[in-house]
Amino acid sequence: MSLVYMQNASFLLNKNELLHNVNFTINKKERICLVGNNGTGKSTFLNIIMKKEPLDHGLIIYKKNIKIKYLEQTIINNDSCSIYDFICDGIGQESKYLKNYFHILNNFKSITSSNNLILLNSLEEIFDKKKLWKKKEKIDNIIKMLDLKNHSLLSSLSAGCLRKIEIGKILVSEPNLIILDEPTNYLDLATINWLEEFLIQNSVSVLFVSHDRSFINNISTRIINLNSGNIISWSGNYDSFLNNQFNNKCKIEIDKTKFNKKLEQEKRWTNSGTKARTTKNISRIKRFKHMMNIKNLEQKPEKRIKILINENHYSGNILFKLEKVCFRFNEFPLINDFSDTVKKGEKIALIGTNGSGKTTLLKLIIGKLKLNSGNIYSNPNIKFAYFDQTRTQIRLEETVLNNLIYEKEEIYINNKKYHKLKYLENFLFSKNKVKLKAKALSGGERNKLLLAKLFLKESNVLILDEPTNDLDLESLQALEIALKQYKGIILLISHDKTFIQNIVNKYWSFEKNGCIKKYLTFPSIKKLTSTVLSSHYEINSKHKKNKLISKILNNNLKKELKNMPNVIEKIESNIAKLQKEINTSNFFHSSLHNQKKTLHELKNEEANLDKQFSRWEYLESYKK
């Protein structure tokens, strides 16, 4: 059944046709990913569905009493309200009763006073009458699932935690359709995995924009491509979309080759001096002229983004060293006794939960924060280039062109001369677009502008804090290529697992109590993810117990379930031993056969761990 039906829709955006007589449907239980290049109007399309932008022509029909919730691309401004109050607002008008009850229970030193007891009794009567207990339980469970603290103020939270509570507010409202604009921005990998599971397990329909290929592949049931006023739809995930695109391009090239061959034949025949005396000859000449018109109307190939990085080629090996680095925040250890030597060519991903200290460590390395203890030794020839996830380096009131700090019209990248306009053209900023103020750009275009500014600076160490946010998939792949070719050091924070694994060769994993562990392969985050997911299954069992078919586990399955923690612990122990062996300095001096054998064993053990977790979750979900 259709939730939303768009009929003959047309819409102009900056004198360009965003939609031209488009028909589009969102059905129940669909999870649709909207793809397209930066600046093509993806966020505007979402605003049209949300009734924030009226169509120029056509109409949109919505299912009666449909509830739609929207997660915007930009994160909320820091605010003085608490996490509980913010998420509670997702309930609607009745949130005031829930807030009052929460604050009476938590903010008074004694609830035994007569006034407090009267207030509590009054609120409990309202809860009974309005059936608010289940809503309270849902809010509490969502906050628990997202590993948040009720009392924390929004102003004290990281960007990732702010993103979490926005998602929490949407989920408690129980919408029919969720619209998500870059939902994985700023989230840690464990929360992304949890969000994937939540969206798949629940019947809610989803329309989303994302550049996270792993996320798209895991949850999408349909891909739609917004291009030149049209929407083209493919059933399946992103991999199937790419396969379809490749097959279509191949077919177009074959047809084009046939057309050009036929055109060349007709051209030779016409040039042979044949006179248009017979009807047959007249028709053939007309056909030739028509083919020439088609050839002249063929579109020029689309320009593709080209990313250049201005490298400082330093001949040494070690650029900086961290020795027993410690940093505390409000007496809580974010980084505890961390040491490592960072060498030329190392590309390191910083991974961990939101608020675990990843951005803090980057700021300590570049000197924006001071250590509590320990030392960071930097080579005097070190040259940093820092990408800040908040994009504060972009001057929104200045034009795109004026955001490049160079006064001269000519700039140099790796000793090659470029005109400023030509350089910006590499990042797909046209001559008209460079005159726009930065505030008029889309999120992805602002990101590209910041990358253009950053890569002008000569560097041998790139510090990249969420550089992929809002980028379209083509720009993301171009950035991957440029970073792979970069010969200096890269320190990278990203929520995009595919992007990370395509680039880095080392990992700093932020774990409990400020501990940072070093790995050469992507460390398993399954243990953290399973903790979050277990809460999700617990909630589902409470809210959906009447809908699930109960199954009684037989004795063999009960024994299997009981033994699961031991099986998983043994596999994790094997993984830890293998990772320890790989991380030793002698490992890569051993024979290639031994290296391959150990790495293959590690891959098999990690696959087995995933399999056992899935089995455990399956058995738990049917446990009586």
Report whether pLDDT(416) > 70. yes
In this prediction, residue 323 has a pLDDT band, given cuts at 50, 70 and 90, of: very high
Q: What is the mean pLDDT of residues 12-19?
A: 80
Residue 535 pLDDT level (bands cut at 50, 70, 90): very low
Q: Choose between 135 and 241: higher pLDDT.
A: 135
The fold for domain 318-524 equals Rossmann fold (3.40.50)
The confidence score (pLDDT) of residue 374 equals 92
* pLDDT category of residue 283 using cuts at 50, 70 and 90: low
CATH class of the structural domain 563-622 = mainly alpha
Check residue 530 and give its pLDDT.
Answer: 40
Two structure tokens written together for 108? 């008074």
Instruction: Please determine, for residue 281, whether its predicted confidence score (pLDDT) is greater than 80.
Output: no
> Residue 385: pLDDT band by 50, 70, 90 thresholds?
very high
Residue 537 pLDDT: 34
Helical H runs in 370-491? 420-426, 443-456, 473-485
Q: What is the pTM of this model?
A: 0.63
Copy the structure tokens of residue 217.
Answer: 């592949």
Share the mean pLDDT of the chain: 80
pLDDT for residue 119 is more than 60: yes
**Whole-number pLDDT of residue 524:** 66
Structure confidence at residue 296 (pLDDT): 56
pLDDT higher than 70, residue 620: no
Fold (topology level) of 1-67+175-236: Rossmann fold (3.40.50)
Residues 6+ apart with CB under 8 A from 73: 43, 181, 182, 185, 209, 443, 470
Say yes or no to pLDDT of 65 above 60: yes
Average pLDDT over residues 122-138: 85
| Count, residues in the chain | 624
* 393-417: average pLDDT: 82
Whether 550 has a pLDDT exceeding 60, the answer reads no
Instruction: Give the tokens for residue 147.
Output: 């590993």
User: Three-class SS of residue 305?
Assistant: coil
| Cβ-based neighbours of 464, under 8 Å, separated by 6 or more | 387, 490, 491, 492, 493, 494
Least confident piece of the model among 70-74, 480-484, 607-611 = 607-611
In 3D space, the residue among 199, 145, 83, 160 whose CA is nearest the CA of residue 352 turns out to be 160
The per-residue pLDDT for 539 is 33
**Secondary structure (3-state) at 340:** strand
| pLDDT for res 162 | 85
Does 554 score more than 80 pLDDT? no
Confidence (pLDDT) at 107: 64
Mean pLDDT of 110-132: 75
Q: What would you report as the CA-atom Rg of the chain, rounded to the nearest whole angstrom?
A: 29
- Is the model's pLDDT at 506 over the cut of 90? yes
Q: How confident is the model at residue 278 (pLDDT cuts 50, 70, 90)?
A: low
Confidence of residue 285 (pLDDT cuts 50, 70, 90): low
Q: How confident is the model at residue 559 (pLDDT cuts 50, 70, 90)?
A: confident
pLDDT at 101 over 70: yes
Confidence of residue 7 (pLDDT cuts 50, 70, 90): very high
**pLDDT at position 61, please?**
93
pLDDT given at position 551? 39
Q: Are 410 and 418 in contact (CB under 8 A)?
A: yes
Most confident of 73-77, 153-157, 459-463, 518-522: 459-463
pLDDT at position 130, please? Answer: 82
Of 79-93, 482-496, 532-546, 552-566, give the range with the top mean pLDDT: 482-496
* pLDDT of 273 over the 70 cut: no
What is the predicted pLDDT for the residue at 39?
Answer: 75
Asked whether residue 52 carries a pLDDT value surpassing 50, the answer given is: yes
Instruction: Give 253's pLDDT tier (boundaries 50, 70, 90).
Output: low
pLDDT-derived band of residue 528, with 50, 70 and 90 as boundaries?
very low
Q: What is the pLDDT of residue 536?
A: 36
The amino acid present at 33, given as its one-letter code, is C
Decide: residue 296, CB within 10 A, 0-12 exposed, 13-18 middle, 19+ buried. Answer: exposed
- Give the pLDDT of residue 538: 34
- Judge whether residue 183 has pLDDT over 70: yes
For the four alpha carbons of 56, 62, 66 and 70, in that order, the dihedral sign comes to negative
Span 150-175, mean pLDDT?
Answer: 85
> Of 511, 534, 529, whose CA–CA distance to 610 is shortest?
529
For 228-250, how does the pLDDT look when each residue is reduced to its tens digit (9 = 90+)? 788 888 888 777 777 666 566 55
pLDDT at residue 286, as a whole number: 63
Across the range 548-565, mean pLDDT stands at: 60
Euclidean distance between the first and the last CA atom of the chain, given in angstroms as a whole number = 34
Contacts 24+ apart (CB under 8 A), 315-318: 316/344, 316/379, 316/381, 317/343, 317/344, 318/342, 318/343, 318/344, 318/379
Nearest to 441 by CA among 465, 471, 463, 467: 471
At 561-603, the pLDDT tens digits run 778 778 877 887 888 788 778 777 676 677 777 877 887 888 8
Q: What is the pLDDT of residue 461?
A: 93
Task: Spell out a b/e string for 210-222, using b for 16 or more CB atoms within 10 Å of the CB, else e.
Answer: bbbbbbbbbbbbb
